Amino acid sequence: MTPAPALMMALSLATPFVTQSSDIGPPPGRLVDIGGHKVHVLCSGEGAPTVVLEAGASAFAIDWSLVQPEIARRNRVCSYDRLGYGWSETGSPETPARVVANLHAMLVAIGERGPFVLVGASMGGIYARMYRLQYPDEVAAMVLVDPSHEDDLFTMFQGKGVTIGSLTAEEIRSTIPAGPAKLPRRSAQTGPPFDRLPPDLYRRRVALETQLIDSMPESVPHEIVLEVVEGQRAAFSTLQKLGASQEHPRDDGPLIVLTRGVRLSPEFRELHARLARSSTNSRHTVVEGAGHEIHLFEPTVVILAIQDVIGALTNKTRLPLR
């Protein structure tokens, strides 16, 4: 495992607090006030339970476009852009605690009632799990799509690679250089798997990411980086402590963990298998041939997983083995 500095992860999440100005056209959903800021949310379909789609870092509601319409045939389903992304307004720098609070405020504001099925991709898997900890009565089931895992998120401390969640607040602070942090520049992602979206949505996604990149400042103030790093550390530490204290699965809420098959290490596979074992009613599936964005590479697999957890909830049955 090659340690990835906590600073680099923080910069990827600390930047969407600056003003966005690019013209990306009208939002496909609606803007909802969550208390001083407006969030873009797109809900479709009818039928309980409502499915809530949580995108990964630097990702958008549009990334669920190959999944949401099919789920909407039978259930209410909502995707949204976190503050600073897509059509949502800018807000404070992103931390897991803020994401959870804002998601809860959004669901209340639009009148969606739980318990929900949470679907989290990549870092969205961390956010979904933290939401469940904060609001356990509001989450009936989860589908985690190649989720980030706290035991796979590393930084350097005293010359060694350690998990971010294993450090104290003071220790993680000592790993962050003084002064503003210069942002690396990059281009919008094009080609696979994003070009699997319909052409008009693909062009719009490129525009969304171009807007996000263009909105980034040359550097991020030191205090903002510290705020985001500590927010991440606190969440990862909470999840690590929970995992370490679990001798037996904690509940029987339906849970499906989907793991990419491409560039999959045995260690990462085991982390996802262990995550699946946190429920007595779970399934872990390695999606052969799929990269990280399984919902774009193999949307049918994600759709089936969501339908399976809904079926297990509705019928009060075990998840089917596939």
pLDDT at 1 over 60: no
d(CA 11, CA 24): 24
pLDDT tens profile 36-53? 999 999 999 999 999 999
Min mean pLDDT across 188-197, 242-251, 263-272, 304-313 is at 242-251
**pLDDT interval class at 14 (50, 70, 90):** low
Phi, psi of 43 (to 5 degrees): -115, 145
> Which pLDDT band holds residue 249 (cuts at 50, 70, 90)?
very low
pLDDT digits over 172-195, tens only?
999 999 999 888 888 999 999 999
Does the pLDDT value for residue 306 go beyond 90? yes
245: confidence class by pLDDT, cuts 50, 70, 90: confident
58: closest CA among 31, 82, 36? 82
Residue type, position 121, single letter = A
Rounded mean pLDDT of the chain?
Answer: 92
Structure confidence by residue, pLDDT tens digits, 112-141: 999 999 999 999 999 999 999 999 999 999
- On whether the 6-312 domain is CATH 3.40.50.1820, my answer is yes
Q: What is the pLDDT of residue 10?
A: 60
Decide the pairing of beta strands 282-287 and 255-260.
parallel
Element (H, E) at 260: strand 255-260
Work out the pLDDT band at 13, boundaries 50, 70, 90.
low
Residue 22 pLDDT: 55
CA-CA distance, 85 to 31, in Å (whole number)?
12
Question: Would residue 159 be called left, alpha or beta, if left means φ above 0 and alpha means ψ between -120 and 50 degrees?
Answer: left
Concatenating the DSSP letter of every residue in 188-231 gives PP-STTGGGS-HHHHHHHHHHHHHHHHT--SEE-HHHHHHHHHH
Number of C-beta neighbours around residue 271 at 10 A: 20
pLDDT digits (tens, 9 = 90+) for 54-63: 999 999 999 9
Statement: residue 271 has pLDDT above 90: yes
Instruction: Say how far apart CA 44 and CA 118 lie, in whole Å.
Output: 15
Each domain of the chain, given as residue ranges in start order, spans 6-312
pLDDT digits (tens, 9 = 90+) for 155-167: 999 999 999 999 9
Q: How far apart are CA 235 and CA 10, in angstroms?
A: 13
pLDDT at 4 over 90: no
